[in-house]
Amino acid sequence: MEFNKEKIKQVIHYIIHKCQNQPYFGKTVLYKLMYFSDFNYYEKYEKLITNEKYVKKHHGPTPSNFEELINELINENKIGEKTEQVYTHYRHKYYSSKNPDDSLLNNKELEVINNVINELSHMNAKKISEYSHGDKPWRVAKFRDVLDPEFVFYRTDEYSVREYDE
């Protein structure tokens, strides 16, 4: 199924708006918050919020259409980007220029996104990347392959968000 470009842009803008003041919030953290929002929603409701494809990369799941989407949001003056040096690397920081439109997101989707933000957005890039490496869909994929959301049904208790009957 094709991803909904406007919906995923709303998800990105919403997460940026909610997390822009977190001290470690940057591109890597945003990637993982998007991933866990989509895959946690899949575990609970058996469909993705955005239908974005996430690729197994060295630092964890990476949304495949991110650069195009983030550039559109910047060009639409909905968000801004600044780069700051952190020790030996650069952090891409994003900030919201206006309140996000969440009209394409239903209450269950917003609840899952907000839960992910509340649980994970405080992590720095290294910690959230390491955390993402423990999730079953990332663990079973080959490097540079698209992650299969079906593997959320084989998550360990640490990652599982669904109540299963015994």
Contact by Cβ (8 Å): 7, 50: yes
| Residue-wise pLDDT tens digits, 31-59 | 999 999 999 999 999 999 999 999 999 99
- pTM (2 d.p.): 0.95
User: What pLDDT sits at residue 165?
Assistant: 75
Place of tokens 């080959």: 142
pLDDT at 109 over 80: yes
Hey, what's the torsion of the CAs at 46, 52, 54, 60, to 10 degrees? -90
User: What pLDDT sits at residue 3?
Assistant: 76
pLDDT at 163 over 90: no
pLDDT at 166 over 80: no
Helix axes 27-45, 125-132, angle to 10 degrees: 30
8-state DSSP, 163:
P
CA distance 151 to 165: 18
With H, G, I as helix, E, B as strand and everything else as coil, classify residue 12.
helix
pLDDT at 152 over 70: yes
CA distance 8 to 164: 28
